[in-house]
Amino acid sequence: MPERAIGLFDSGVGGLTLLKEVIRLLPQEELLYVGDTARVPYGTKSPETVRRYAVESASFLVRQGVKMLVVACNTASAVAIDELASQFKIPVIGVIEPGSRRAAALTINRKVGVIGTEGTVKSGAYARAIKRENPAIEVVSTACPLFVPLAEEGWADHQIAYIAAGEYLAPLIDAGIDTLVLGCTHYPLLKKTLHAVLGEKIQLVDSAEETAKVVVETLLCVGANRSGKGSVHFFVTDVPDRFKRVGSAFLGQNLQSVSQVILNPHNP
């Protein structure tokens, strides 16, 4: 078991923000990452479609023999985590619970904001998870769809990003939140912009950081941590060029080993 790889998947490059944290905390692990670049974005698609895509990525990774599945995509975690946990016999970790737990622990005035894709916000998954931690917390959620293309364009710190953030976040600031969950893979890249718009008093919760800690805890708990030299291999469903280019900015290093694959050979 310890020698086997950890499998992570996302709709595309966004999940590399979580992969980066996992590499930082577990440099000795072998990591397999699926980016479903042929079908990105997931955030605007129906829950049924995202669930089907998530099961295909997870099944592909399980066929590679992974010891754990990490659902790096917030939209997929929001709508597919129960289905994945019931279908696969290995630990399945999503990003919603870790981010929610942290937000519930941090808030003092019990007003938490959540930002994510349309699909994540519509699912209500973060609001439910935060209220499970503490039913007295009021959750205000809003979708910020422009943040994804801005991050991929390398414009996370551009004046357009500040204008978009000002528009999206105004209702959350007005609602008096003291904590904001970054409920989308791409949003950690906008932290500087978000801090500038929100001011010092609103704390940011990075779901990717929180989830990476849970990956470590789970590995230790089941005694499946590996020693030796780690490695990362990427699988994408479209040609690798754009994934490599945009992904290296997300990961902060070149993406060396990238293969194009068909996730579901029966339904390519």
206 in contact with ligand DGL (CB under 6 A) = no
Q: Which of 140, 139, 127, 149 is nearest to 43 (CA)?
A: 149
Task: Indicate the residue among 57 and 185 with the shorter CB distance to ligand DGL.
Answer: 185
Selected catalytic residue, list 34, 184, 202, 232: 184
- Touching ligand DGL, residues 26-85 (CB under 6 A): 40-43, 73-75
The residue nearest ligand DGL at its CB is: 43
As a whole number of angstroms, the longest Cα–Cα distance in the chain is 52
Question: Helical H runs in 144-261?
Answer: 147-152, 159-174, 191-198, 207-222, 241-251
Long-range pairs, 157-161, Cβ under 8 A, ≥24: 157/192, 157/193, 161/190, 161/193
CB of 116 to ligand DGL, least distance (A): 6
Active site includes 221?
A: no
| Per-residue x/- track, 154-193, ligand DGL (CB under 6 A) | ------------------------------xxx-------
Q: Name the amino acid, one letter, at 256.
A: Q
Task: Indicate the residue among 12 and 91 with the shorter CB distance to ligand DGL.
Answer: 12
Task: Indicate the residue among 74 and 237 with the shorter CB distance to ligand DGL.
Answer: 74
211 in contact with ligand DGL (CB under 6 A) = no
DSSP assignment of 111-128, as one string?
EEEEEE-HHHHHHTHHHH
* Residues that contact ligand DGL, how many (by CB under 6 A): 16
Selected catalytic residue, list 40, 61, 73, 263: 73
CB of 38 to ligand DGL, least distance (A): 12
Contact 20, 248 (CB under 8 A): no
DSSP assignment of 64-114, as one string?
TT-SEEEE--HHHHHHHHHHHHHH-SS-EEESHHHHHHHHHHH-SSSEEEE
Task: Indicate the residue among 90 and 148 with the shorter CB distance to ligand DGL.
Answer: 148
CB of 248 to ligand DGL, least distance (A): 17
Active site includes 184?
A: yes
237 in contact with ligand DGL (CB under 6 A) = no
123 in contact with ligand DGL (CB under 6 A) = no
Contacting residues for 182 by C-beta, under 8 A, at least 6 apart: 99, 115, 188, 191, 194, 204, 205, 206, 207, 208
Contact 182, 188 (CB under 8 A): yes
According to CB under 6 A, which one of 84, 148, 169, 224 is a site residue for ligand DGL? 148
CB of 118 to ligand DGL, least distance (A): 8
Task: Indicate the residue among 4 and 191 with the shorter CB distance to ligand DGL.
Answer: 191
Sheet (strand 138-143) strand order: 138-143, 111-116, 179-183, 203-206
Collapse the DSSP code of 231 into the 3-class scheme (helix H, G, I; strand E, B; otherwise coil) and give the result: strand
94 in contact with ligand DGL (CB under 6 A) = no
Residue ranges in contact with ligand DGL by CB under 6 A: 10-11, 14, 40-43, 73-75, 117, 120, 148, 184-186
Active site residues: 73, 184
